Structure 1
Amino acid sequence: MSTSLAAQLQRLAVPATSALYDSRKKPSILFDAQAAAGKDREVIYDIGISGLQELVQLNPAFLQFEDTLFGKTSIDLQRSVENKELNRKLDASIRKFFFHLSPYFMLQPAHKCLEWLIRRYSIHEFNRADFVNLILPYHETLIFVRCVQVLHIAGKNDPFAWLHGVKKSGAPLAKKSIVNHAAGSLGFLRSYGEFLEQAVAELDNRANVLQAMIAFYCTTTIGVLDGADQVGENLVVAIIKTLVKGLSSKALDFTAASYMIVGHLVSKATLAKKTLEKILQRLAVQMHPSLTGNAVMLMVLILQTQHEQIGELSDAVIATIMSAKWLPQALGRVKQEGVSVVTLLRAVLGKCLSKICRQDEDLELCKRFCEGLLLEITLTEDEARVVIQSVLDSYFHKGTTAGDLPSASDDRSSSSEIISLDSDEEDFERKDECVTRWYSDFLKALENQYPAAFDRVVKRTMRGHFSQNKRNALRNVLGFLMQASYSEQDTNVFENLFHYDVDRRVDAVRYLVQNFQNISLK
C-alpha cells in the first residue's frame, strides 16, 4: 500500500517539478541560456506571433494556426497538468503545423515559431519524435544542432540516444550516422515513412514543396538498401507501405523517389508475387506525364529481376496495364533511347494473346492493345525473333521463355530452305475462326515489319518434329504464306512478286507461268 501511495505522490509531483524546472532553465534555439532565462512568456509569444505573421505572408495556410497554437489564451496553458484528450489534440495540431513548416524550416520566421512552441508547448519533451522528424532533413545545418541541444535525452536507453553525440559536440550529424541508425532500427524507417505519408496527404496539391523531407527519406532508404548484404523481410515490411503510397502519389517528387527506391529494392531482394503485382499496377496508373519513361524502365527492371516470382501476369495486372493509354508510346520512346523492353513486351503480349485464345470478355481490347504495341515499338532483329516466336508459341499454348530461344548465331537456316506443309490434313481441332484470322493478320503484320526475323523463326519452327495437330495449326495460322502456291486468290501472287524472299518471288513467277491461261486480268 505504501509503495502504491508513493507512486501516486510521485506522479502528482511531476507537473510541479516540470514547472520548477521551466522557471529555472528556459530551453531556446534563438538565445543562449542566460538571455533565454530573462525573457518571459509574453516576450516569447510576441516573437512567435511575429514569425507566424511572416509565414502567413509566404503561405496563407498558416492562418489556421493563428487561433490555436498561437492563440492569446495559450500563454497560460500548462501541458503537464492538462488532460490526455487536450494533449492528444495538441499533438495532432503540432504535427500538422510541422508538416506545413518543413519547407520553411531554414527561414528565421520558422525559428521564431519553434521558439514559442518549445517554450509554451514543450515540444522538445512532449513531441520529440515529430520534432526530430521535422529537423532531420536539415541534419547538416547549425539550426539542426540547436534543436537537438534542447531535446531531453535520458541515458543510453532513450530512443533518441543516438543523437546524444550531436547534443554534446555541437557538430552537425553525418548522413552515414543516420543510415547506420536506420539500418539498425527499422522502426525508424517505418515511423519516418508514416510521417512523410501524412505530410503529403496534409499538403495535398502542394506536397511537392516537401522536397527536403522526400529527398531525406529517399537517400536514407537507398543507403540502407545499398549497405545491406541481404535485404530481409523486416526491411521490406518497414518501407513497402510508404513506397506503394508514393508510387501513385499526386506529388511528383514523392513518386519519383519511390521509383528510385523500388528500383534498388527489386535489385537486392526477392519480393512476393502479390507485392510485385501491386507495384506494377501502381506504375501503370501513375499520373505524371514526365515520369512515363521512368515507369516503363522500372516495369522492365521488375520483370527482369523478379520474373520467377511473377510468372504469368494476372488478369488484374494486365487489365490495369491495358487501361494505361500512355504505355505503348512510352515503350516506344524508351526503346528508341536504347533500353531493351523485350522482357516487358513478351510478358504483356503473352498474357494478352492468352486471353485472345480463350476469347475472354476483353478480347477486343486485348487485340487493339497488341496491335498498338506493334505500331509503336521498333525492335531489333533479335528482339523481333523473340517476339515472333512468342506469338507462335502462344497459339500452340507453349510457354517458351526468352532464355529458351536460340540466338542469331545459332540460327543457321538458309534462305533456300522451303516450308512444306501437307495441305490435305483436316483433323486439327481449330480455334475459333476469328481468333485464327486475327493471329494470321497479326503475324502477317510482323512479317511485313520484320521480314528477315520472321523468315528465320518460321523456317526454324518448320524444321521441328510436330504432331499432326500442330502441323495443322501451323497451316491455319500461317496460311497467308502459302497463298502464292496454294491459293486461288491470285492478287496475292502479285504481292509475292516483290517479296524480299527469293523463294517467294520464284514461287510467284512459277505460279504465274503455270496458270497464265487461267488468270484473268481485272
Structure 2
Amino acid sequence: MASSLASQLEVIRSIALADPAPLKRPFTRPSILFDPKKAADTDTESIFSIALQGLEVLINRDERFGNYKNDLFSHRNKELDRELLGIEQNNNLNVLINSFLKLLSGFFILPSALQTLEYLIRRYKIHVFNKEDLILCALPYHDTHAFVRIVQIIETSNGTWGFLKGVKVSGAPPPRMVIVQQCLRDKAVLEVLCNYASPSKKFQPSKYVIGFCTAVFIEVLGTVETVNDDIVKRILPFVVSGLQPGIKGDSNHKASSLMIVGLLGNKAALAPKLLNSLIRLVAEVAREVTKESIDLHWFRLSLIALINLVQSHDVGILPIKALEVLKELRDLPGVLLELSKEFNIEKFLVVLLDSMIDYSSKDEYCQLALLSLIEKVPINDSVHHVVCKILSTCVKLSQKVGDSASLISAGWAKKILIVVNTKYPSELRGAVHHFLQHNKAHSKKDDSLYKILCKMLDGNLDSSSDISESKVWFALYHPKADVRRTTLRDLNSSGILKSEKYVSEGLIDIQEAILRQLDDKDLTVVQAALNVDGLPNVLGASKLLEALQNVLRRCVGKMLSGSTDNVSLTGEVAVTCLKKAISYFHDQSDYLKKIAAMTFPLLLVMPQTQGLNLKALVLVNKINWPLYQNIAVSSSEEATSIPGSLSSINLKVINNLAGNFMVHPEDNIAWFSESCNDSELSKTLFFFVLLQSLLIQPKGDDFSALFENVFPILKAEWESIVNAGDVLLEEFKSEVLDWDCSAFFDHLLHANLRPLNAKVMVCIFWRLIARLMSTEPSRNLLDDSKIKDLFVFFASSKFKHAFREHLHFLAAQCSVSPARLLSKFFTDEGVPAAVQIESLQCYAFLCNLSQDRWQTELLAEFPSLLVPLAGDNQSVRVASMNCIDELRALWCRIERSGKKNGNNATWFHFLGELLSLLDQQKTLILSDKKFLPSLLASTLGSSCHTILVPQNMENRFDQPTKERILEFVLGSALEFSNYGKLMILSLLKGIGNAIMHPKVAPMLSHFMKQYYDERDKFSNTETRIMCLLLESCVMSSPSGGDDLQYPLLKALQLDATTSDDPAYIEPCISVLNKLNSQFYTGLQNEVKERVFHELVFLCRNANGDVQSATREALMRIDVSFLLLANFY
C-alpha cells in the first residue's frame, strides 16, 4: 500500500514539474516532431490525425500494429487523462504502451514511427509515465537526432538514465562508447539492456535491438581485461535465451549469443557447471541448424563457438548430453576438417576424441562417430594420445571382468586401431611401443601388459591361446627385443602364416609387420625374421628383395664403419641375408639383375668384411650372370688358402671381372648405371674393373663405343664427388697415373671410399686419353668431340691440378695440330674462362717443348692469341700474354738455331718484331684494355695518333711490312669462328679503311647476300661483324667500285618489315653514323642520287634512332642544287 501511494506521489510530482500551470494554456509543449512553441499551438486532434496516418503506414509494414488501433489509438481515448486513472487502469495501459514501444523499436527510424510517438507523448505522457520504455525503444538509434529529441523531453536528472543528462544539454547524439562505459560503471544499465533484448513468450526483440545490445555487450567484454562473475551473471540471460533450442525468432539473436559465448570463453573463467551448460547449449544449436537444413555457415559458427569454449578452459571431457548431440551430427567431420585447415583446433579434437573413446565401449553411435572423425579429420599430432587413451581404456575395462562392457570393448577398440593404422601406421607403431614401454599393469595373474591388451582386443578374457592376431600385433611392436624375437619364432613354428586369411586381414597387415622386423634395430630380431619360412609367399617377391637389400646394406655399412658391437652377429645376419636372396631369386630372371647388383660390392674383399666377402665368392657361382663367370671359388677355405693374402684374391677377381666386362661393355655399363650406382663400394669395384679393362686391347670401334658409354658415368660421378666437398686431392702425385688397381688395395682399410674412388678415376681418365690417342693416330682429331669434351672436363674441374698431366698429354699428343686444337678454346664464343686459361697454359707448355714438328704451327697461330688478349676477363688476358712471352722465346730459339721454314719466311721476321713490341708494352696492355687497339692502330695504321701510345710508334714498321702483318693477321682471322673474327676486326678497327683487305671484302659481300637477299637469320655476333665492315666501307675510298657501294646502299634500305628488327637497324645506323662529306662527294652522281634518295625515305622511318642518325648524316654531307632539282 505504501509503495502504491509513493508511486502516485511521484507521478503527481512529475506532472507538476512538467505542467506547472495546467489551467493556463502553455507556451511550450514537449514534442519530437515540432519545436516546443509550435507544439503548444498544435491541438491534440491534429496530432491524433497525424498519428493515425503513421499507424496505417506501420500496419502495412507489420500487421501487429493493427492490434493497437482500437485501444491506444482509438477515438474513445482521445480525451483520456492518465492522472485521473486508477492504479490498475494505469498498469494495464503501461503494459499496452510497453508492448507497443518494443514493437516500434524495430521501426523507430521511420517518420511514421515518430508520428505515433508524438501522439503517445501528447495523450499518454509516455515521456513521464513510461520514460524507461521510451528510452529503450530509441536507444538502438542513439546516434540519431530523433533520439536526442526524446532525451530532451525526459527528466533524466536522477536514476538509471542520469548519464544522458549531457545529451540533453549539448544536443549531440552520444557515441556507443558512452553507453558501454555506463554499463561498466552501473551494472543496472547492463542488466536493463540484457532484459530488454531477451525474448519473451509474447515478444521477440527486433534485429536492431539485438544488434545494438550485442555490440554493447561485446564492447563491454572487450574493454575489461578479465570478465568478472557480476558481468557474466547479467549478460547470461541474453546469451542463454538466444541459444535455447526450438525457439522461433530472429537468427541474429542466435548469432549474437554464439559470438558472446566465444568472447566469454576467452575473457572469463566460467564455473564448471556453467561451462558444461554452455557447451551443451551450443551443441544443441549445432544440431538444430543441421536438422533445419540451414546453411552450413550456421553449423560452422556454432562449432567455432564450441571449440573456443573448450580450448579456452581446462575441459577434460565433454558433458555426456553434449556428446550425445555431437555424435549424431553427420556433417561434423567434414566441417571440422575445413576448420582444421584454418585454425588450430587440436586441443578440441583431443577432448572430443577422448570423450568419444570413453563412451565407445558402451555406445555404438559413439564408435561410428569416432571412426568417422579419425578417417576424415587429420590428427597427426594427436595419434599418440589417442592410441594411448584407447589402450588405457582397454586396460581399465579388463579390471571389470564382470562388466558386460568388457566383452563389447574388443570390437570398438580393434575397429578404431585398424582405422588408425590405415591412416597413421608409423605414428601408431610409435604410440604402441611407447605405451608398452612406459606403462605397467598388474592383473591378478600378474600377466604382462601386452597380454592383457591382447585378450581385451581378441574379446576373450579367459583365452590362453599362444597365437592370436592381437598378440602378434602387440608383440611385434613390443619394446623388448626378446618378445619380438620369440613371437617371430612362434609364428614360424605355428605355421599360421600359411593361412592367407590371417596374412591379409585383421588388425594389422602381417606382411607389413614382418617387413618392419627386417628393419628392426636389434639384429637378433632381424635374424629371426629372416628365418621365417616361406617369406616370398608372405611378403611378395618385390618387397622381400628390397628388404633383403636394405638388411645387407645395413650390415655391410656397420662392419665397414666399425659401428657394430657384435661383429660376428652382424656378419652372420649378412651371410644369412645373402643366402636367402640367392636361394629365393637366383633362378628368377625378373630379379636376376638386382641379385647380381646386390652381390657385386661383396666381391671386393675388404679387411673389415673378409668373412662375408669370401662367402659371397663361394655363393656367386649360383648366380647365372655373365659378368660373374669364372670368378667363384669352391669354398671359403679355398679362398683363404690362395697365396698372396687378400690382395691376390682381389686382383684375380678383378681381372676375371674385367675380362667378362669387355665381352659386352655396353650392357655391363648400363647394368651398373641402373642397379649398382647407389653404393660407394660398388663404385669402387666398378672403377677397379674399368681400370683393368683398359689394359685389354679393344678394336677402334669397340673403344669408341666404350668411351661413349663410360665417359658420362665417370663425369657425373666426378661432379658428385666435387659437389660433396669431402674429398681433397691437394697432393696428387703424377706417378699414380701408371698404377694398376692392386696399388690401391692398401687404401681399402679406410671406411671412406670417396677419396680412393677419386684417385682411381683420375687413373681411368689417364688410360682413356692414352687409348684415345693411340687408337687411330693418323685420324684428324681437331673436330673430334671426345678430345674436346675431355679437355673441357679436365680444364673446368675443381681439381684441375690432378688433371694437369692429362691436359698436357692431350695437347702434346694431338696427331694433327695442337695449336689449332687449343686455339679453338679461346677463339670460340661462350667458352668458360677456366677452360680458356687452361688452354692458354697448355699452349705455353707446348712452346717450351723441344719438339720441332709443332714449333712453326705454334708461331703461325699467333693471331689467335690476340682474341683472348682483347677479352674482358683479366685472368684470361694475363694467360694470353704469358703465351706471347713463351712464343717470343720460341721465336728466339728458332732464330738462333736457323731452323725456320723457308715457306714461312715472309711472316717469320716481322713476327719476331711484333712479339717484341707486345712484350715491351706488356704492362700497359694488361693494365688498360683500350691500349691494345690503340697500339695496333698506331703501329699498323697510316695516320692514327693517340696519347695512349708512345710517339713515333707508326714508324716501327715500313708500309710493306704493315701490309704483310695485316694480311697475316686478317688471313688467319678468317679461319676463326665468327666471335674470333669479330674480336680481331674490333682490335684493328682503328686502322681505318686498311681493314678492308682484299681477303676481308668478300666476307662482307657474302654476309650481305646471305642476310639481305636470302633472308637468313643472323646472330648478334654476325650483325656486329657486318656493322664493323660497313663502317670500314664508308671510311674507304669511294672509288673502290660497286663492290663497296652496293653493301652501303643495301644497308640503307629499310622497309616496314625490317624497321623493328635490330639486325637491319644496327647496320643502317652504323652506315649513317660514318657517312661524311668527303666520302659522299667522291661518289658518282648516280650513286649520290641513290644515297640521297634512301636518306630522304629514312627521315620518315618509324624508328626514332634511325630518324636522328639520318638527320645528322644529312647535316654532314653536301647536297648540290642540281641533285635536289632532279630529285623533285
Instruction: Please give the range of the TM-score, normalised by the shorter of the 2 chains.
Output: 0.7 to 0.9
Rg: which structure is higher? 2
| 2:339 matched residue in structure 1 | 334
Contact 2:32 2:149 in 1 (8 A): yes
Q: CA deviation at 1:329?
A: 3.5
| 2:386 matched residue in structure 1 | 387
Q: CA deviation at 1:373?
A: 2.4
Structure 1 residue corresponding to 2:209, chosen from 207, 213, 225: 213
**Residue 347, structure 1, aligned to residue 343, structure 2:** no
Mapping of residues 28-177 of structure 1, within 5 Å? 28-153=31-156, 155=157, 157-177=158-178
Which segment is superposed worse, 216-225 or 504-513?
504-513
Cα distance, 1:52–1:475 mapped onto 2, change above 3 Å? same
Distance 1:9 1:247 in 2: 40
Contact 1:247 1:258 in 2 (8 A): yes
Distance 1:103 1:131 in 2: 13
Q: CA deviation at 1:13?
A: 6.3
Q: TM-score with structure 1 length normalisation?
A: 0.81
**Residue 492, structure 1, aligned to residue 513, structure 2:** no
Contact 1:50 1:109 in 2 (8 A): yes
Distance 1:191 1:447 in 2: 57
Deviations 1:465-521 (A, max 9, x none): 52335332333456447269545653232463764984168899865517979xxxx
Q: CA deviation at 1:327?
A: 3.2
Distance 1:451 1:349 in 2: 18
Mapping of residues 322-471 of structure 1, within 5 Å? 322-335=327-340, 337-357=341-361, 359=362, 363-375=363-375, 377-397=376-396, 432-467=406-441, 468=447, 470-471=449-450
Deviations 1:154-176 (A, max 9, x none): x3x33221000001110010121
Mapping of residues 230-241 of structure 1, within 5 Å? 230-241=226-237
Q: CA deviation at 1:306?
A: 1.4
**Residue 313, structure 1, aligned to residue 318, structure 2:** yes
Which segment is superposed worse, 479-488 or 457-466?
479-488
Distance 1:10 1:176 in 2: 36
Contact 1:15 1:80 in 2 (8 A): no
Q: Name which structure has the greater RCO, CA cutoff 8 Å, separation 6+.
A: 1
Distance 1:87 1:222 in 2: 37
Q: CA deviation at 1:19?
A: 5.9
Contact 1:428 1:473 in 2 (8 A): no
Cα distance, 1:397–1:123 mapped onto 2, change above 3 Å? farther
Distance 1:86 1:75 in 2: 16
Distance 2:301 2:423 in 1: 27
Q: Secondary structure at the match of 1:76?
A: coil
Q: CA deviation at 1:134?
A: 1.2
Cα distance, 1:511–1:47 mapped onto 2, change above 3 Å? farther
Distance 2:83 2:335 in 1: 58
Distance 2:102 2:7 in 1: 37
Cα distance, 1:138–1:512 mapped onto 2, change above 3 Å? farther
Contact 2:360 2:412 in 1 (8 A): no
Q: Secondary structure at the match of 2:56?
A: helix
Contact 1:499 1:505 in 2 (8 A): no
| 2:934 matched residue in structure 1 | none
Q: CA deviation at 1:8?
A: 12
Q: CA deviation at 1:9?
A: 12
> Aligned AA for 2:436?
M
Q: Secondary structure at the match of 1:198?
A: coil
Cα distance, 1:39–1:397 mapped onto 2, change above 3 Å? farther
Q: CA deviation at 1:311?
A: 3.8
Structure 2 residue corresponding to 1:503, chosen from 516, 537, 542: 516
Contact 1:346 1:390 in 2 (8 A): no
Which segment is superposed worse, 287-296 or 144-153?
287-296
Cα distance, 1:503–1:8 mapped onto 2, change above 3 Å? closer
> Aligned AA for 1:387?
V
Which segment is superposed worse, 11-20 or 85-94?
11-20
| 1:513 matched residue in structure 2 | 534
Q: CA deviation at 1:116?
A: 0.8
Contact 2:380 2:424 in 1 (8 A): yes
> Aligned AA for 1:168?
V
Cα distance, 1:324–1:130 mapped onto 2, change above 3 Å? farther
Q: Secondary structure at the match of 1:70?
A: coil
Q: CA deviation at 1:15?
A: 9.0
> Aligned AA for 1:338?
E
Q: Which runs of 5+ in 2 are unaligned?
A: 442-446, 458-468, 477-487, 520-527, 539-1128
Distance 1:13 1:161 in 2: 20
RMSD over aligned Cα, in angstroms?
A: 3.3
> Aligned AA for 2:435?
T
Q: Secondary structure at the match of 1:106?
A: coil
Q: Which runs of 5+ in 1 are unaligned?
A: 1-5, 399-425, 518-522
Distance 1:147 1:238 in 2: 27
Cα distance, 1:7–1:68 mapped onto 2, change above 3 Å? closer
**Residue 243, structure 1, aligned to residue 239, structure 2:** yes
Q: Secondary structure at the match of 2:213?
A: helix
Q: What is the aligned length?
A: 470
Identity %: 24
Cα distance, 1:98–1:511 mapped onto 2, change above 3 Å? farther
Q: CA deviation at 1:212?
A: 2.0
Contact 2:31 2:39 in 1 (8 A): yes
| 1:263 matched residue in structure 2 | 262
**Residue 474, structure 1, aligned to residue 453, structure 2:** yes
Distance 1:380 1:8 in 2: 65
Mapping of residues 224-303 of structure 1, within 5 Å? 224-248=220-244, 250=248, 251-286=250-285, 287-288=288-289, 289=294, 290-303=297-310
Distance 1:111 1:427 in 2: 74
| 2:909 matched residue in structure 1 | none
Q: CA deviation at 1:83?
A: 1.5
Distance 2:93 2:399 in 1: 80
